[in-house]
Amino acid sequence: MKVYTMQVNKQVSALSDQTTTRRQAFSSFFSTLGSISIANRLTALVGISTLGVSTSGCMGETTYDQGELSAYEPFWTYRADRLEQYQQETFQVGIRTMDAPGPHNAAVHHPIVSVQDGIINATVDHVMELDHWITTIYTRDLDTGRVFYLKEFHPTELSPDTEKGASISVELPPGILRIAVFAFCNKHELWWSGVIDLS
């Protein structure tokens, strides 16, 4: 935890040299969380407690310019790692897939992914209701482990294209050859697209 706290502190102190937008985003983030410790701030950010994943960790609509991404990636990686850890520790199974859905309906949980002209589009055709929704979608570079995009959803936030489900559209960073998209349902676990080979 000490190493991660140092990384977070380094990210926060680096903000003074960054864009006004980035400073405002982090200022708003830390002022919202109040005067609690860095560890508690991270816990509040990702919505994870010692009991597991909370339904209160949603950050809503998030758009980033390319210059801001490097500041958010440590938080995204932390959130993604915790979701994957939660899946293993709580359910004692791997991440769900279309071929291994367990007792759940794969058709409404499995991320549907397309990559065209350097843009990744991912959709999960799932209900978005106050007590049952896709809380998080993220993209991971499978060769490096890097989480290069993550979005938290409000319970009633619908995909703008279909007016149902949850979706993301993100630019593919250069040099990435294999990715996967992950989606977490607050009731039915963590799902992934499987390997998407871009080579």
Give the model's pLDDT for residue 111: 97
Please say whether the beta carbons of 192 and 184 come within 8 A: no
SS3 123: strand
CATH topology of domain 93-197: Immunoglobulin-like (2.60.40)
Q: Which amino acid is at 56?
A: S
Nearest to 55 by CA among 134, 163, 139, 148: 134
Mean pLDDT of 144-148: 94
Rounded to whole angstroms, the Cα distance separating 59 from 62 reads 8
Selected residue with higher pLDDT from 47 and 170: 170
SS3 153: coil
**CA-angle at 84, arms to 83 and 86, nearest 5°:** 60
- Tell me the per-residue pLDDT of 65-116, one tens digit each, with 9 for 90 and over: 555 667 888 999 999 999 999 999 998 999 999 999 999 999 999 999 999 9
Q: Where in the chain is the domain with CATH 2.60.40.730?
A: 93-197
Please say whether the beta carbons of 134 and 155 come within 8 A: no
**pTM for the full predicted model:** 0.67
